[in-house]
Structure 1
Amino acid sequence: MATEAMSAKPIRLAIVGVGKIARDQHLPAIANDPRFELVAAVSRNAVVDGVDNYHDIAELLAAGHELDAVSLCTPPVGRSAIAMTALDAGLDVMMEKPPAATLSEVARIEAHAVAAGRSLFATWHSREAAGVAPARAWLADRKVQRVAIAWREDIRRWHPGQDWILEAGGFGVFDPGINALSIATEILPGDWVVNNADLHVPEGRMSPLAADIDLTCGDIPVTAAFDFLHEGPQQWDIVVETDGGTLKLSMGGAVLDIDGKVTEATDAEYPGLYAKFADLVGSRSSDVDVTPLRLVADAFLVGRRTIVPAFEW
């Protein structure tokens, strides 16, 4: 179904999974990028106006649309089968974070993409935040002494009624927390290790609502505090102390503060992701970095679980 020469024509795209993140971020980014043409949507519970809508990817493919690519915005559990079905159909694939429920699934999808000769993009939207690239450049010339991550937000505000996020494979507080890890591993490339973790799991649920993690990047100590029940002002901060001053990324990477000099820019995370996907499709290449997912998996493996009171919406 995919065409090999798309330089003169927009990439004909279907979006799979029409939830909050798709409506808030993906659909506006697609609409504002002339390199893409949204031709269909797939969802069990929602529709996108102005395009054909289908219940599942099999129904989409059976309809015979002229398609080049799909953007997968479903929950991570079950995404592997959808991705491989799309690749088998000759489509390029972009995946919302986290790319799949397990590292093995990501490896399988990536191998499938290589065999099919298609482009695969495992996205980390927070890496596109305005302050991330300049933070990495500033840190490259300095000796980092320690890092502190504080990622605290309200699950009821950002994921109302979404029980899947607290089930097995739903990641719990690591659904937002993995965004922090994606930024940290981008601005400080190196050998990251999870040393230990404390996971607070509500009674009757499978995934934690809070976590405290001790990590290292090479010989740099890193602490991370994740909280999914944080009311009031939301907090998405990374503080990096160096021999040449202190760097702070706040608001999820949108605001960069270096020793009191603050730079703030408008949100361009998802437009940046789609620009990268267009480049990958055009060059017939892929971008699959599992480092943030590996750290989350390690935290689940070594984490000490404490059962806390039941969570209700």
Structure 2
Amino acid sequence: MLVALVGIGKIALDQHVPAIAGSPDWELAATVSRHGSVEGVEAWDDFTAMLEARPDIRVVSLCLPPVPRFAYAAEAIRAGRHVMLEKPPGATLSECHALQDMAREMRVSLFATWHSREADKVDAARGWLSDKTLRRLTVTWKEDVRRWHPGQAWIWEPGGLGVFDPGINALSIVTKILPKPIHLSGAVLKFPENRQTPIAADLAFAHPDGAEVTADFDWRQEGDQIWTIEAETEAGTLVLSDGGARMTVDGAEAGTEEDAPLSGEYPRLYAAMARLVRDGASDVDLAPMRHVADAFTLGRREIVAPFEE
């Protein structure tokens, strides 16, 4: 299948382009970007013109920041194209629901991707937890924003999510591996005095069985980066580390290579998109985004030291 990639920035070049190149399902037929391109691929700077000139390209993958993404997705859907959305799927929940309605009306596939759900041991963790009684779950997601988002000013503007840009990856894993749904019960959001989005957040959740569920997100981490989810149950303690790439149970390595027959988060996303298009289906799970929206609604705001690049 032919696919057009829109927004040729770091995530597109690091993840999407190699995943498409390595897939038997896809051919990168065009790019749309004001600044970037991919060698050997037809490049456009006008999305409308590309859609009109290339009716043979039936799938569009959007790697734009959240705020401008809705307009591109809506235009693609109205043009009868299947759409793949980089995370988070939109700037607001209402936008995402509107896109779902459009896709349903136009009978095209819409895929809200959560790449961290495709980490190697996430499915194994979900299977292990499926019949366990949860007592406590702790998420620790701490990284250095200067290392991972250099010069990306949009993340500090309204709609950019701030620390929830990586934090939503953790929430996407949590909402996949827990057998019972949780909801936010409290939050503290820490805003640099010179920025519009938070640099850190402490979250607490209500669990239907009373388990203690918390998350600690921080973009000020120096040294080792921490992406860990620890789940204590009556049958032992499971730890997902390295963003879901490693899994231990009571300190012993768990999960097998057979848990992840296709290597890489983004190759798995593109394989899933191919299945959705072939089946005439959509996948728009907004659970991770609901938790973020609830945090902004319920969270207590604290002002912290200014952030400078």
Per-residue deviation, residues 225-265 of structure 1 (Å, max 9, x unmatched): 00011110100000000000000000000000111221476
Moved more, 302-311 or 256-265: 256-265
Distance in 2 of aligned mates of 1:53 and 1:217: 48
Deviation at 1:137, TM superposition (A): 0.6
Aligned match for 2:277, one of 264, 276, 281: 281
Match of residue 126 from structure 2:
136
Distance in 2 of aligned mates of 1:179 and 1:160: 19
Aligned match for 1:212, one of 202, 224, 232: 202
Runs of 4 or more off by more than 2 Å in structure 1? 62-65, 263-267
Contact 2:6-2:62 at 8 Å conserved across structures: yes
Deviation at 1:127, TM superposition (A): 0.5
Match of residue 235 from structure 2:
244
Match of residue 268 from structure 1:
264
- Secondary structure of the residue aligned to 1:77 is helix
Q: CA RMSD in A?
A: 1.2
Deviation at 1:294, TM superposition (A): 0.3
Distance in 1 of aligned mates of 2:249 and 2:84: 34
Name the amino acid aligned to 1:51: V
Distance in 1 of aligned mates of 2:54 and 2:244: 41
Aligned match for 1:38, one of 28, 36, 41: 28
- Secondary structure of the residue aligned to 1:78 is helix
Match of residue 125 from structure 1:
115
Distance in 2 of aligned mates of 1:128 and 1:56: 32
Deviation at 1:204, TM superposition (A): 2.2
Matched ranges for 1:95-244 at <5 A = 95-218=85-208, 219-244=210-235
Match of residue 258 from structure 1:
249
Distance in 2 of aligned mates of 1:65 and 1:111: 22
Name the amino acid aligned to 1:34: P
TM-score by length of 2: 0.96
- Secondary structure of the residue aligned to 2:229 is strand
- Secondary structure of the residue aligned to 2:162 is coil
Match of residue 23 from structure 1:
13
- Count of aligned pairs: 303
Distance in 2 of aligned mates of 1:58 and 1:190: 43
Unpaired segments ≥5 residues, structure 2: none
Moved more, 215-224 or 89-98: 215-224
Per-residue deviation, residues 127-156 of structure 1 (Å, max 9, x unmatched): 011111010111112111010000000111
Match of residue 308 from structure 2:
312
Per-residue deviation, residues 71-100 of structure 1 (Å, max 9, x unmatched): 111000011111110111111010010000
Match of residue 4 from structure 1:
none
Distance in 2 of aligned mates of 1:184 and 1:288: 16
Aligned match for 1:49, one of 18, 39, 64: 39
Distance in 1 of aligned mates of 2:43 and 2:213: 45
TM-score by length of 1: 0.94
- Secondary structure of the residue aligned to 1:206 is coil
Per-residue deviation, residues 13-59 of structure 1 (Å, max 9, x unmatched): 00011111111111100000011011000111111111111113113
Match of residue 290 from structure 2:
294
Distance in 2 of aligned mates of 1:36 and 1:49: 17
Name the amino acid aligned to 1:14: A
Moved more, 255-264 or 143-152: 255-264
Match of residue 5 from structure 1:
none
Distance in 1 of aligned mates of 2:207 and 2:67: 29
Deviation at 1:307, TM superposition (A): 1.1
Moved more, 107-116 or 55-64: 55-64
Distance in 2 of aligned mates of 1:208 and 1:144: 30
Distance in 2 of aligned mates of 1:220 and 1:52: 52
- Secondary structure of the residue aligned to 2:28 is strand
Contact 2:175-2:181 at 8 Å conserved across structures: no
Deviation at 1:192, TM superposition (A): 1.7
Moved more, 297-306 or 259-268: 259-268
